Amino acid sequence: MARLLVIIPSGEIYDHDCVRWYQYQNVQRSIDSYHNIGDAFVFDSSLKLLNFDKIGVLEINKPDWASLDRLREEYDYVLLRGSNYIHSEMEWHDTAAVLKKLGLPVIAFGIGAQAPVKGLMELSESTKEVLRVISDLSTSIGVRGAFSAEVLADIGIDNVRIVGCPTAFRGLNPDLNIKLGPLEGIEKVGITVRREVSPTYAQNIERYLTFHRDLVKSLARRFDTTLMAQGEVEEKKLVFGTDDQKEEAMASLRANGWASKWYLDDEIERLYRERLFYSDVVADYETLVRKQDLVLGYRLHGNLMALANGVPSIYFTYDSRTTEFAETFRIPSFDVFRDGTFVLEDYWESWRFDAFNAAWRDVYDETRKFLVENNVDNKLIDRAARTTGVDMLQVA
């Protein structure tokens, strides 16, 4: 069993390998602040793939330097959960210096790059230094997809493996295989919503929001839908808030220039009041998606949670990050900024999900190789070895 030290966690750990937001029962504590519960999906999923008997957290902002010698003896490696770290605005604080002094192997588990709509990809010297330190301390770095690998190659880092995201493998089922039934049998549909958007990454805000609005309304008229939010303040208040906070949230949406002009109308308001779901507990999302016949929408990890549980999902891509996810796993996807309209029937085709099934198995194998070559005790089996009767459940 390994002893792992986490940097940049996203939530508190309970029941050994489960994650929820900090003090999740005190909803008023964080109801006025945004946190993306999708990051907790990745943290939770990472833990579920690993064998460990001790876990701790290492602060990179104002670290306790005197503790590093002790931590080096108490832990086997540092875990950096997958996230969107490789971009121009990432703040690393003292990470590079801490990792150098600590000297432990670093498991960068599915990190990714984000390209701006305009201009070249620019990384700060701080980001470059951190990535090079991680590269030096690791056998390989696990990246989200080909684009992220290219960005690292551009700064001289070639020891990478494309591992997608651990959320895809959280079910620990090496034989995941999504098969489509008749579309006429679909009743419950989860829609992963992302109202907040940045013009830095989405090329046309009007198109993004109007498409989003029309998609939600068209699906809600056709199916028993649940709108799955992941942390925006107004959406949280509509789920968790007092009556006054719910009205405050709707007033805030009406006052928001983009939302009021291109997103919010009477029908969306009704759906927000009646169909919105949010939780600060990762397990609650998993329970929800397992009850759905289809999950689709804008959220990377909400969609991936569904696929990991064998529920068909369709991505709506709008930036380099969502596109890279869809390409890595060959997930059926629709580019929000392309001409034309989305027709569900055009995507309810077995060959699309057959392609996903094949890509998923390939990335599963790469993820296992990544963990094994970094000497990480893990729960992924060697799929190829099963045919020879060799059981490779754990790292020797």
If you average pLDDT over every residue of the chain, what do you get? 95
Q: Is the pLDDT of residue 86 over 80?
A: yes
At 61 the pLDDT is 85
Give the DSSP letter string of 182-226. -GGG--EEEEE------TTT-S-HHHHHHHHHHHHHHHHHHSEEE
- CA-based diameter of the chain, in Å? 64
Residues 208, 194: Cα–Cα separation, whole Å = 10
Burial of 225 (0-12, 13-18, 19+ CB in 10 A): buried
Which CATH entry fits the domain spanning 183-348: 1.10.12, 3.30.1050, 1.10.287, 3.40.50? 3.40.50
CA 257 to chain centre: 28
Phi, psi of 242 (to 5 degrees): -70, 170
49, 172 Cβ separation under 8 angstroms:
yes
Q: List, in order, residues 6 or more apart from 391 with CB less than 8 Å away.
A: 381, 385
Name residues whose C-beta falls within 8 Å of residue 161's C-beta, 6 or more positions apart in sequence.
140, 141, 142, 143, 366, 367, 369, 370
Strands 106-111 and 77-81: parallel
pLDDT tens column, 200-257:
889 999 999 999 999 999 999 999 999 999 999 999 999 999 999 999 999 999 999 9
83 three-state secondary structure: coil
DSSP 22: T
Q: Token pair of 172, please?
A: 């620990």
pLDDT category of residue 395 using cuts at 50, 70 and 90: very low
Residue 5: beta bridge partners? 56, 78
By CB neighbour count within 10 A (0-12 exposed, 13-18 middle, 19+ buried), where does 31 fall? middle
pLDDT reported for residue 388? 57
Q: Who's near 242: CB < 8 A, 6+ residues apart?
A: none
At 381, phi and psi to the nearest 5?
A: -95, 160
Q: How far apart (Å, rounded) are the C-alpha atoms in residues 24 and 26?
A: 5
| pLDDT tens string 144-174 | 999 999 999 999 999 999 999 999 999 999 9
pLDDT at 301: 92
Neighbouring C-beta atoms of residue 383, cutoff 10 Å: 14
Give yes or no for residue 1 having a pLDDT over 90.
Answer: no
Q: Is 39 helix (H, G, I), strand (E, B) or coil?
A: helix
* CATH dotted code for 2-173+360-388: 3.40.50
Range of weakest confidence among 84-88, 307-311, 333-337, 387-391: 387-391
Confidence tier at 189 by pLDDT (50, 70, 90) = very high
Q: What is the pLDDT of residues 309-328, one digit of tens each?
A: 999 999 999 999 999 999 99
Please give the model's pTM, rounded to 2 decimal places: 0.95
For residue 262 the two structure tokens come to 């291109």
Q: How confident is the model at residue 384 (pLDDT cuts 50, 70, 90)?
A: confident
Domain assignments of the chain as residue spans, ordered by start: 2-173+360-388, 183-348
Q: How confident is the model at residue 396 (pLDDT cuts 50, 70, 90)?
A: very low
Percent of the chain residues past pLDDT 90, beyond the cut: 91
